[in-house]
Amino acid sequence: MTVRTHRLPAASALLAAGLATGAAGGCSGAPAPGEAYRLVPGGDAQRGRLLLAHYQCGSCHAVPGVPGRSTQVGPTLAAFGGRSYIAGRVPNEAAALQRWLQSPQSLVPGTAMPDLGVSATDARDMAAYLMALR
């Protein structure tokens, strides 16, 4: 599924109002030197943030900068860019994270994280946002 950001009025309004504190807005930046494996080539972190709202990741996860009433079903994604492992199992690097977002079960069979039908482009942009969370 492809989502165009202009079709996300609620999230766009939040963005415009500056309500969401910006991990992608400047306080935290690109991965440090030596952490290039965390870089997501072509990733658009701002679009990724809107997509996190669109896919309602916030219904299960606390995600800085993304609205949602977290149920704490999933772990917080605060400072995820500094996390060593995905689901405590797979080393956290850009390619693995994109695969996780598209098909969690294929990366960690039996995980409780659902497959949300995320496209490759959307996974790329959401990964860019998550990797920038420090």
Nearer to ligand HEC, 59 or 106 (CB): 59
The span from the CA of 37 to the CA of 92, in Å, is 9
Asked if 86 and 97 touch (Cβ cutoff 8 Å), the reply is yes
Residue closer to ligand HEC (CB basis): 20 or 113: 113
What is the full DSSP assignment across 13-27? HHHHHT-S--IIIII
Least Å from the CB of residue 33 to ligand HEC: 23
Contact between 40 and ligand HEC by CB under 6 A: the answer reads no
Q: How far is the CB of 105 from ligand HEC (least distance, A)?
A: 10
CA atoms within 13 A on the CB side of 17: 10
Shortest spacing between CB 108 and ligand HEC, in angstroms: 5
How many helices and strands (H and E) does the chain possess?
A: 5, 2
Residue from 23, 24, 50, 86 that binds ligand HEC (CB under 6 A)?
Answer: 86
50 interacts with ligand HEC by CB under 6 A: no
Structure token pair of residue 50: 């809107």
Nearest-angstrom CA–CA distance, 13 and 17: 6
Position 77 contacts ligand HEC (CB under 6 A)? yes
Q: Which residues bind ligand HEC (CB under 6 A)?
A: 52, 55, 57, 59-61, 73-75, 77, 80, 83, 86-88, 101, 108, 111-114, 116, 118, 126, 130
